[in-house]
Amino acid sequence: MPGEGARPDRSVMRTGPGSCPGSIARVKTSASLDSDQESETASGSRLVVAIDGPSGAGKSSTSRGVAVALGLRYLDTGAMYRALTWWLLERGVDTTDPEVVAMLATGPGIEVSTDPRAPWTRVDGTDVSEAIRTREVTAAVSAVAAVPQVRAHLIAMQRQIIASAPGIVAEGRDIGTVVAPGAQVKVFLTADGTARASRRAAEASWSTRADQDRRDRLDAAQSGKAADAVEIDSTGLGLDEVVGIIVGLVPQKSR
């Protein structure tokens, strides 16, 4: 427990039994974020950078890099869907049964760190940062994420996190279209199929190009590109190059 007098922070989102939906858990994050100085646009609104795109395009590493470069918080929305999926699988739930999944959607207490230098995910207090990246979770998460009640519950959480942050980079598949359509900067990050498959091959949750193609088909309904998003093809680019391009899209007054 934090000691008395410790300054509350806004780095973690908690939901589930014993907490109000959308409530913020208070924990200490890295020193670079302790000041929580707001990043504002010329209109005075908090800066939100939305990064969407398919799996293997490099969203996570890019989003963390952009958040660090701009001194913003970071939100991996996919980790939240994975956390719920992991919890369901641990209980032997048939994740292909939308009615059962819908009934249990608000069951676990999910927490996510918004420190780009130390991202983690917890379910009912247990760190599941690695557990949610297994092949079993990857194979089941698309079906869980497609359930309307799941989407409604987690999108509400995600919007609360974004609204509570002094400035944030949020990544996923529908940030610029659904979760934060008012984001000041929107990016659709992609790469050709071969490059994406090669990147995923190094991860334990993927085995073949067929796995990737299947995931793309299942996620298609939630993977639309916002009309005002800037599309970036990362196929032949290094991480620093992609981060630099996105940082360059942020208006100078917002940095």
pLDDT in the model for residue 87: 98
| Digit-coded pLDDT (tens) for 89-99 | 999 999 999 99
Residues of the chain above pLDDT 70, percent: 69
Tens of pLDDT, residues 66-77: 999 999 999 999
Render pLDDT for 120-151 as a digit per residue (tens, 0 to 9). Answer: 999 999 999 999 999 899 889 999 999 999 99
pLDDT at res. 31: 29
Rounded to whole angstroms, the Cα distance separating 104 from 194 reads 37
Domain ranges of the chain: 12-25+46-248
- Evaluate if residue 197 carries a pLDDT over 60: no
pTM, rounded to two decimals: 0.77
Give the angle 28-35-10 at the CA atoms, nearest 5°: 45
pLDDT of residue 108 exceeding 90: yes
User: Which of 96-100, 179-183, 209-213, 247-251 has the lowest average pLDDT?
Assistant: 209-213
What is the pLDDT, as a whole number, of residue 58? 85
DSSP 252: G
Q: What is the pLDDT of residue 160?
A: 97
The residue that leads in pLDDT, 154 or 202, is 154
CA 35/CA 39 separation, integer angstroms: 12
Write the secondary structure of 118-152 as one string of H (helix), E (strand) and C (coil). Answer: CCCEEECCEECCCHHHCHHHHHHHHHHHCCHHHHH
- The pLDDT of residue 9: 40
Res 208: pLDDT: 58
Nearest Cα residue to 191 out of 56, 35, 36: 56
Q: Which candidate, 74, 80, 76, places its Cα nearest to that of 15?
A: 80
| Beta-carbon count within 10 A of 194 CB | 11
Q: Give the pLDDT score at 221.
A: 58
Q: Estimate to the nearest angstrom the gap between the alpha carbon of 237 and the chain centroid.
A: 22
Superfamily of domain 12-25+46-248: P-loop containing nucleotide triphosphate hydrolases (3.40.50.300)
φ/ψ of residue 181, rounded to 5: -65, -15
Q: How many Å apart are CA 248 and CA 78, to the nearest integer?
A: 25
211: confidence class by pLDDT, cuts 50, 70, 90: low
Distance in angstroms (rounded) separating the CA atoms of residues 54 and 7: 38
Please tell me the predicted confidence (pLDDT) of residue 37: 44
Given a contact cutoff of 8 angstroms between Cβ atoms, the answer to whether 90 and 131 are in contact is no
The pLDDT, as a whole number, for residue 13 is: 42
Query: What pLDDT, in 10s, does the model give residues 8-60?
Result: 343 444 444 433 333 333 222 232 344 444 444 333 468 999 999 987 778 99
Residue 140 near residue 85 (C-beta atoms within 8 A): yes
For the cut 90, the answer to whether the pLDDT of residue 188 exceeds it is yes
